[in-house]
Amino acid sequence: MFGSALVALALLPLGLAAVQGAPQASAPASAPASAPISSEQLPVTEADVLKLGSDIPGRLTVPVMIGAAGPYPFTIDTGAERSVISGELVRLLGLARGRSVRVTTMTGASIVATAIIPSLKVSTIATGRIEAPIFKGNDLGAPGLLGLDSLKGHAVSIDFDRQVMTVRAAGRSTRAARNDPDEIVIRAKSLFGQLVVTDASFRGQRVQVVLDTGSAVTVGNQALRRRIVNPRGGIKPLALTSVTGASLSTDYASIGEVRLGTVVFQNLPVAFADAAPFARFGLIRRPALLLGIDALREFRRVDIDFANREVRLALPVRPR
């Protein structure tokens, strides 16, 4: 059913959920002579592309080469099965178009175009041809997103102290070597390429946690929402907007006693909705969280090792 499905959970504050191959959309027979000029027809400069997402506070990126061009600041999205690219960068580089694809976002399905990335390089990653869905750069918050198709066999490190995001080839597991007393190691399982932490709970009940560095907001499903009684500060409505411009209504609340390994969150903000990724992962009936960058910022550093299915969390410095 999901043989060719792609998943991208990048959220600004929300992003893609699933992408499936679809027939090429036919072009209209003719266009009105007085049709207005679309923004997609306007010229794009290198400065325009490099500026994408620069006004988002705390946005962390890595330098990516597209063929011989670049580097361009891409965000690493551990909730995305496939990499995506902005229309602005596609136009700047004159990339060829690929198939149209059906994209199921947090808010529904739509048909979008793709571009052919001839090669992509960042740090130790070097890929061949990629067929990447195209979205507006302002909606992505960057010229593009690196998904799991580019991260196989690699590890991602997010250093919040230095405000740096890096990627490297993953070596053999080093979980036996724990030299830092303020670091914890959590084992995870792989689900459609995403790392899912199973050693997590809410008030003693197990919760499935999907790590999603592309999400600005942590999202919980309704199965978890039903277990929330009198959340701190009450429940407030929050509308999240997907990369296609559609919106999703959520219940936003701060909850306590969420445990991740040996770490306990006592005030974790969560937007509750039965968003499409939960169905994709088979997590409708079981309490689940898409843990976004807002929660990960509670740590000094987060290392996500896909090859060894391991997550390392550097705890905040303890006050003396």
Residue percentage of the chain with pLDDT more than 70: 80
Note the CATH architecture for domain 16-24+44-151: Beta Barrel (2.40)
**pLDDT tens, residue by residue, 261-278:** 888 998 899 999 988 888
Bigger pLDDT: 15 or 260? 260
Note the CATH architecture for domain 154-314: Beta Barrel (2.40)
Q: Please report, for the chain, the start and end positions of each structural domain, with discontinuous segments joined by +.
A: 16-24+44-151, 154-314
Residue percentage of the chain with pLDDT more than 90: 38
> Would you say the CATH fold of 154-314 matches that of 16-24+44-151?
yes
User: What is the β-pairing status of strands 258-260 and 205-206?
Assistant: unpaired
**pLDDT tens, residue by residue, 158-210:** 999 999 999 988 876 554 555 567 788 998 888 877 888 888 999 889 999 99
Q: What is the pLDDT of residue 318?
A: 55
Sequential DSSP letters for the chain: --TT-B----BSS--EEEEEE-PPPPPPS---TTPPPPGGGS---HHHHHHTTTTSTT---EEEEETTEEEEEEEE-TT-SS-EEEHHHHHHHTPPEEEEEEEEETTEEEEEEEEEE--EEETTEEE--EEEEEE-HHHHTSSEEE-HHHHTTEEEEEETTTTEEEEEE--S--TT----TTEEEEE-EEETTEEEE-SEEETTEE-EEEE-TTBSS-EE-HHHHTT--S-EEEEEEEEEE-TTS-EEEEEEEEE--EEETTEEESSEEEEE---HHHHHTT-SSS-EEEE-HHHHTTSSEEEEETTTTEEEEEPPPPP-
Is pLDDT of 27 > 60?
no
88/95 Cα distance (integer angstroms): 11
Q: What is the pLDDT of residue 5?
A: 42
Bigger pLDDT: 302 or 198? 302
- Averaged pLDDT for residues 225-245: 81
**pLDDT tens, residue by residue, 28-72:** 344 444 444 445 666 788 888 888 877 777 788 999 999 999 899
